[in-house]
Structure 1
Amino acid sequence: MTAFESAVVAAILSHMNNDHPDDNLVIVRAFGAPDAERATMVDLDTIGGTWTAWLAPEDETVQVVIPWPAGTIAARGEIRREIVALYDAASSALGLPARDHVG
């Protein structure tokens, strides 16, 4: 496993958890915890991302580790692309409408 700098990881986790909590839930429901009620991204590296999912009704938590769709990545700029790809694939798998990703 190859890690990104801790400041990079912290910034991305903060962004995903503060600005995209619903996206985290879509990704987790599609790729590992279909009964999740909420999810937070807790780690990432060059291989993939890790989320904690809270399951209903007991509020049990599970870790969901999902590899990046394109395989191993090396640059910070690739992280956004891979998270968007995960979200798009998750939305498709769950039958949700496609979203235009701006910015």
Structure 2
Amino acid sequence: MTDPFTPDVVTAVLRHMNEDHADDSLQIVRALGGYPDAVSVQLATIDPAGAVFAVTVAAGGVVRVQLPWSEQIVERPQFRREFARMHSESVGGAEG
């Protein structure tokens, strides 16, 4: 799969999620990523197929968690919708 996003776009999305939405990302990996014992998280990378988080678990160590998007991302605004969807699902809400 070809990645349509330049490195500066990827860096901007990672920075935004890691600086402004760290708590949301933690909720997402705890609920959807299968790591309820996660103590911290960094969004490591994104591509058109999904997001990869570096998750620090309570027992120590870091694991990589890959979560797929609901559809292939081809436009930058889709990232926001997909992270909002993941967060909504992680707290038991409907897609918003």
CA displacement 1:12-51 (0-9 Å, x = unmatched): 1001001111011001101222210111101001111010
- Code of the residue aligned with 1:66 in structure 2: it is L
Task: Report SS of the residue matched to 2:44.
Answer: strand
CA distance in 2, matches of 1:90, 1:52: 17
- In structure 2, what is the equivalent of residue 15 of structure 1? 16
- In structure 2, what is the equivalent of residue 31 of structure 1? 32
The within-5 A match list for 1:82-97 is 82-92=82-92
Question: How much has 1:73 moved relative to structure 2?
Answer: 1.6
CA displacement 1:42-87 (0-9 Å, x = unmatched): 1001111010100013x21100000012x21211111111111111
Task: Report SS of the residue matched to 1:88.
Answer: helix
- In structure 1, what is the equivalent of residue 81 of structure 2? 81
CA distance in 1, matches of 2:2, 2:87: 23
- Code of the residue aligned with 1:79 in structure 2: it is F
Structure 1: unaligned runs, 5 residues or longer: 93-97
- Code of the residue aligned with 1:38 in structure 2: it is S
Structure 2: unaligned runs, 5 residues or longer: none
CA distance in 1, matches of 2:12, 2:62: 23
Return the TM-score normalized by structure 1: 0.83
Shift >4 Å, 4+ stretches: none
Cα-Cα RMSD: 1.4
Check the 8 A contact 1:36/1:54 in 2, yes or no: yes
Return the TM-score normalized by structure 2: 0.88
- Code of the residue aligned with 1:86 in structure 2: it is M
Question: How much has 1:2 moved relative to structure 2?
Answer: 2.8
How many pairs were matched up?
A: 92
